[in-house]
Each structure stands twice: as structure tokens, then as C-alpha cells.
Amino acid sequence: MVHRRVSGTLAAALLVVGLGSAAVPSAHAAAGTTVTGVVFQDADRDGVRDVGERPASGAEVTFTQGMPIVIQVRADSAGRFTATLPWSGPVSMVVRGGDWLTSSSVTLDGSPSKDVGNVPTTLSLRAALEVKMTPARTTVRYDQRVRFSLTVDNVSGYPISGVRASCWDNGNLAPGSVVELTDSGILETWPTPNPGITLAPGTRTLRFAGRLTDDAILNGTPEISCVIKDDHSGNGEGSALLTVRGGVTTVTGRTYFDNDGDGTRDADEYYNNFADVVLRDRVTHETYARGSYVDNEGAFVIRTTRPVAGSEVALEDWSGTYTAAKDVTLSPHRYGTVEVGDLPVTFAIP
């Protein structure tokens, strides 16, 4: 049976060919090539059909050579398929049967028939592996180590080669925070490809460690994501997020132009909506945390993982036109939100 779908004047057809049928549009039949083969479940991923490896019965085999024509056939109970293709040259072939899949190509040279032999399909990592990140949440303080593990259970019953871990953060961890790995060879590297490791059946624990740095928490809660992948699986199997919490002090307030210099916001004194506010050491004036730019109401937010006892909130103005500083009481061992109220901004005195 042939199903044709046409959109507007474009002859975009989806041809679904039933098993054993070579039905294609008559305009292509004379010049077509009949492609045959057998798809099987390549359990050990070696590309060879071994004794005991089952046919991928009922798998969909899809052929394309650019759009708009797509030809799709279904394998029988023995994994055999037949399709008549109206093209020459390289043709994309994708096989999908549940969690078993593969992608390859077939080159047609104009011959009336072509047998591609055994076509391996591999079990997706999402089905072959069970991945868990522990802990799912962790609480750290400044300069403490961030430790987490990926527990990977290979339930396929066969070794899986080329297994790699790709880990990244959501932008709220400082560069290089996650730098160490106890299982050598599994962390994906760039630009040099990493061949990965062979993961035997059963459970293996991959341990990672890093250090939370001063500017680690900028705009929100840091999160680390990891994906386990191999040479066959594309994006691979995703893990749960590791959420790094705790150890954060948030300082809030609002800046305004203190025109009369009395340190009190009067009714005619406007909020400053272009300031850059920082936390710094009260004595050395060393900046150790920067805040968000103020909004239209002068509000600012500063987050730090390393509160300094003798601190002040200050306006950072590179032009030297304005100045502002206000003491703030922070504790290196207690975290939470500290409201400093209004921060008066005055003209700097030359």
C-alpha cells in the first residue's frame, strides 16, 4: 500500500511500503533499485551478528535522499526488509525498533538490486544504563570541595565500549570548579576526542570532585549536569542535576542621590538607577563580591559565598564622579539575607 501526502503544489510524498511489497510510484519503478537486508539486535555492539543475537523484528527502516520523498518499510519477524528506491548515489538509512536503533548509509550505483546484508542496531543508552547522581543536592561553603558521584548500572548484559561522561554547569559555578575525576579516561575532553572506557555489566561508581570558588554563585543556584554517552548513542543518557546549596549571603538595598549630604533620603532625592554596587573589605577596600546592576528603583542584590566580617557596601564608579560606602555587619559562619536599607550617593570631593 502506498500513502501519498501532497502539500500545496509541492509533491512532498511519504511512501510507507508494506513488508514484501516493492510498491513505489510507477514513474520511479523502472529506474529503481530494490534494496534488501536483515536488521538484527547487535547486543555486544561489535557490528557482527553473533550466535544468539536476535532479529530486530518489526523495526522501521527509513530511506531518504533529501526531501521531499521518504520511503519507509517494516522488517518481518526474521528482520528481513525490502524497499525499492528511486535514487542513485548515497542514501541515508535509519533503523528504529523500540530502544534499538542505528543510522548509516547505502550507496546505489544504478544496479536493479542491492543486498546490504546484516544491518546492526544497538540498544540506546537510555535503555542499557541506569544513571543516578548522588547526592542530588549538596551544601558547601566557600573554598570547600564539591563532591558527587555518578552511579552507572549497565543492565544490558554486555560490555559497552566508548563510554564517556560530559559534565557542565549552568553558569553559576566559576570556571574550573569541577576539575578532578577519579575514574581516569571517562570525562569527555575537547578538542581532543576521548575514547572513553569499557563499561562491564553491573554497577560502577564514577566519582568527581571540585572546589567552590569565591565567585561561584553569581545569579542563582549552581547546578551541575552530567550525561553518559558512547559512540552509538548521540546525546546519551542524562543524569539528575546536582544542586549546590547553602553557604550564601545575600545583601540587598537601594541607592539614591543624597543631594544635601545628610545621609537621609528626602522626598526630592531620587533613586540612583545606574550604579554598580559591590561588597568590599572595610579597611583594604578590596572588592570580594559584585552585585547586580541596580533597577529603576535603585535596588541592588549582592550574593557571596565568603562574607567578610569587616565589610562595607560601596558604589563602584570608575569615573570618580560619585562616591558611596556603608558599613554592613556580616558573619563568615552565618548565612542569610542582610538588608542595608538606603545607600546614599554623593558627589566625590576632588
In the predicted structure, residue 35 carries a pLDDT above the cut 90 = yes
Cell triple for 280? 568590599
Do the first three CATH levels of 126-245 and 249-347 match, i.e. the same topology?
yes
Cell triple for 214? 569565591
Q: Which homologous superfamily is 249-347 in?
A: Immunoglobulins (2.60.40.10)
Query: 44, exposed or middle or buried, with CB in 10 Å at 0-12, 13-18, 19+?
Result: middle
Asked if residue 254 lies in contact with residue 343, where contact means CB atoms within 8 angstroms, the answer is: yes
Asked if residue 56 lies in contact with residue 8, where contact means CB atoms within 8 angstroms, the answer is: no
Cell triple for 294? 541596580
Cell triple for 179? 576539575
Taking the alpha carbons at both ends of the chain, their separation in whole angstroms is: 89
Of 20-29, 35-44, 179-188, 205-214, the least confident: 20-29
Neighbours of 30 (CB within 10 A): 8
Q: Delimit the domains of the chain by residue range.
A: 14-123, 126-245, 249-347
Question: Cα torsion for 273, 275, 280, 283, to the nearest 10°?
Answer: -110
The strand pairing partners of 205, in sequence order, are 151
The strand pairing partners of 326, in sequence order, are 313
Pick the more confident residue, 294 or 284. Answer: 284
Instruction: Dump pLDDT digits (tens) for 243-282.
Output: 655 567 888 999 899 888 888 899 899 888 877 888 888 9
In the predicted structure, residue 36 carries a pLDDT above the cut 70 = yes
Output the pTM of the full model.
0.55
Rounded CA separation 258/105 (Å): 72
- 126-245 — its CATH code? 2.60.40.10
Of 37-51, 204-218, 248-262, 308-322, the least confident: 204-218
In the predicted structure, residue 4 carries a pLDDT above the cut 50 = no
Instruction: Give the pLDDT mean for 151-172.
Output: 79
Distances (CA, A) of 204 to 43, 131, 195: 20, 10, 18
Cis omega before residue 193 (within 30°)? no
Please enumerate in sequence order all residues whose Cβ is within 8 A of that of 180, keeping only pairs 6 or more positions apart, or say none.
208, 209, 210
Instruction: Give the pLDDT mean for 149-164.
Output: 85
- 14-123 — its CATH code? 2.60.40.10
